[in-house]
Amino acid sequence: HTHELLTFSWWGGVQMGPPDPILGVSEAFKKDSNPKKMNLGVGAYRDDQGKPFVLSCVRKAEAIISAKQLDKEYLGIGGLAEFTKCCAQLALGNDNEVLKSGRSITVQTISGTGSLRIGGNFLSRFHAGPRDVYLPKPSWGNHTPIFRDAGMQLKAYRYYDPSTCGFDFKGALDDISKIPEQSVIMLHACAHNPTGVDPRPEQWKEISDLVKKRNLLVFFDMAYQGFASGDIDRDAWAVRYFIEQGHNILLSQSFAKNMGLYGERVGGFTVVCGDVDEAKRVESQLKILIRPIYSNPPMNGARIASTILSTPDLRSLWLEEVHGMANRIIKMREQLVAGLQKEGSTHNWQHVIDQIGMFCFTGLKPDQVERLTKEFSVYMTKDGRISMAGVTSGNVGYLAHGIHAVTK
């Protein structure tokens, strides 16, 4: 009897889960002994020495917070009030009518992932429209399983044009025009992940008009505000424009990249409602969704973020540092293209400069990616995406050499 119990397992039928495509890249990178190896997989910013970068404004904020000797009492389910206020203001702009009228609700979430998940759960429970969330093709790999686990279904609209390595504007409008009314459409606010391809303002305007015509519910994912152009207002332009045009949007924000607070898990989820009463009702339901997942959010990162955003000299310092990170990336793009030209590449690499944000969709095919990894120890995802953050002035020449070698 005992023997039978000691050999039986409940989990005999559990399959090995597939390795995460992005993290799998980092695993392989670690094992490689080539001194020239490059990790262009994960989207975490690196300085020009290839090291993680803790922002000075973050260190200063931490010192201020440490001196205050605060207690560690539970936050409310919706999170730190000072944070959610700053978070919403950062996205919408201090003078936004929505904030003044109080007709939106922002809850603190576990970074961008947590925000999207809460959003998905909220849609699943309360959205009367179709179960479909329309993602751009391609989109961040984790969008699909997040919304699926939340109970939604996934569809796509054309977005990336591989023949130009740019925006398939015509294809996007064509597909969007056919989306059933009241469906949810996900838009990347800036620095599209994985392609780095963003619509131009006049294109955003047409998209807004069409989305309004189709009566679609807009869900913005803004994980790179400040990181794309270096200017937080410019990067939030699309979000603000849509609100101005009357879209009552859902919005996910992350402070992982723009404040380098990755592991502190700082994010926000906002619902723009019809009026104050609706915002209160929505807030109450968001709390009901959050409580059985993790009860209330973590304090540390939210405290750091709100200290930075609400302390004038820290905020200025932050804006400078974000600008600095964005600029280094832009410079690396330029140097990569220059390097490729120097190597004698005859291909058109303009898209490397035109694309924006942390990622670049190089246009490399899977077999070229494989060669780049095997022969040059340059690690990236199979779709040809590279994280520009992993490129430095010290290795950009080597990268250009490798890319040229596999594409000539």
Q: Would you please indicate which residues are annotated as catalytic (active-site) residues?
A: 140, 221, 257
In which residue are the tokens 């961008």 written?
A: 112
DSSP state at residue 271: E
Q: How far is the C-alpha of 255 from the C-alpha of 302, rounded, in Å?
A: 9
Exposure class string for 2-34: b at 16+ Cβ within 10 A, else e: eeeeeeeeeeeeeeeeeeeebeebeebbeeeee
Give the three-class secondary structure for 107: strand
Sign of CA dihedral 274, 279, 284, 290: positive
Chain centre distance of CA 236: 13
Q: How far is the C-alpha of 339 from the C-alpha of 403, rounded, in Å?
A: 10
Q: How far is the C-alpha of 113 from the C-alpha of 266, rounded, in Å?
A: 10
| Number of neighbouring beta carbons within 10 Å of residue 298 | 17
CA distances from 46 to 73, 218, 258, 329 (A): 34, 32, 12, 10
Q: How far is the C-alpha of 214 from the C-alpha of 181, rounded, in Å?
A: 5
Q: How far is the C-alpha of 76 from the C-alpha of 107, rounded, in Å?
A: 10
Give the three-class secondary structure for 97: helix
User: Where does 127-168 have alpha helices with state H?
Assistant: 143-149
DSSP element (H, E) containing 158: strand 153-158
How much of the chain is helix, strand and coil, in % rounded to 5? 50, 15, 35
Strand ordering across the sheet containing 250-254? 104-110, 266-272, 250-254, 217-222, 184-188, 132-137, 153-158
Give the three-class secondary structure for 403: helix
DSSP state at residue 46: B
